[in-house]
Amino acid sequence: EAKSAGRSSFCFYQQGMQERVLERVQLESDLRHALENEELVVYVQPQWDAQKRMIGAEGLLRWLHPERGMVSPGVFIPLAEESRLILPIGDWVLRQACRWLSKWHKEQQMAGFVLSVNVSAVQFAQEGFVQQVESILNEYQTPPSALQLELTESMLAHDQQDIISKMEALKALGLLISLDDFGTGYSSLSYLHRLPIDQLKIDQSFVANIEKGTKNASLAESIISLGHNLGMEVIAEGVETSAQFDWLKQQGCDLFQGFGLARPMTIEDLILLYRSAD
């Protein structure tokens, strides 16, 4: 009795796994066509200073799948990384951002606005990544200081000298570098000060319940002073409430991003929102 129940639950588990594997394979094959079928869109989420002036935005990929509807980047970015499809996709995101920035620059609008683009560890590790960024900047005649690359702590785990050189070469192009999801990775503090980083981004997991004086509050406070001591700007992501905004502002946090201020939106909506504040 017990044995057969055990066996059937084993089969059930196997079957579930097989379905999941098939689903992944299907999704990955769909992703292969997503770019050419124009199913990918770069949404943008505004970033604000302490006076609630919009100073920039982060580009966030959206996949409008013909059957499944909106697929979350939390699902398809890992797939894109494993299949290395993140290379053409990441290239396209960077081009999209540079196209917008040069258009604004030519039309003399959105002055001083900074667009941040997420860079995957797979892209960053690629030989020739710096040259690729350089040629895209040149191709679209993008003002480099309006572009910020978001790197994550996880990509700092490899050969340190190599990473430092690569970041310095990127900085030499004139762009900005932000360290995303800060506090969730394993970067060594002794090495952080050797990296040419402009901005630390406090991970949203540390922002939750921050106003209640929890452990998160002391962690966020430490990250803000660490960043400032190293001469970096500090931005908090995942700001959902005005209590969180007020608390972070009080602690000296420079910039803010989160659903409580604005959700990710299309570039058209962002421009309207930006203009409505003039």
The site for Mg ion (CB under 5 A) is made up of 118, 150, 180-181, 237
Q: Are strands 255-256 and 54-65 parallel, antiparallel or unpaired?
A: unpaired
Residue with smaller CB distance to Mg ion, 144 or 258 = 258
Q: State how far the alpha carbon of 274 is from the alpha carbons of 19, 66, 111, in Å.
A: 45, 31, 11
The contact mask relative to ligand C2E for 81-100 (x = CB under 6 A, - = no) is ---------x--x-------
74 is a contact residue toward ligand C2E (CB under 6 A):
yes
Q: Candidates 9-17, 105-113, 136-144, 256-264: pick the segment binding ligand C2E (CB under 6 A).
A: 256-264
Cβ-based nearer residue to ligand C2E, 143 or 185: 185
Whole-angstrom distance, CA of residue 175 vs CA of residue 117: 11
Q: Does residue number 237 form part of the binding site for ligand C2E (CB under 6 A)? A: yes
Return the closest-CA partner of residue 258 out of 275, 236, 277, 227. 236
Could you give the CA distance from residue 258 to residue 237 in angstroms, rounded to a whole number?
6
Given the complex with ligand C2E, which of 60 and 255 has the nearer CB atom?
60
Give the shortest CB-240-to-ligand C2E separation in angstroms. 4
Q: Does 266 sit near ligand C2E (CB under 6 A)?
A: no
Interface region with ligand C2E, contact rule CB under 6 A, candidates 23-31, 131-139, 238-246, 265-273? 238-246
CA-nearest of 113, 120, 67 to 89 is: 120
- Sign of torsion over alpha carbons 113, 46, 97, 175: positive
Distance CA 216, CA 13 (A): 38
Residues of this chain that bind ligand C2E (CB under 6 A): 45, 59-61, 72-74, 77, 90, 93, 118, 120, 180-181, 204, 237-240, 258-259, 264
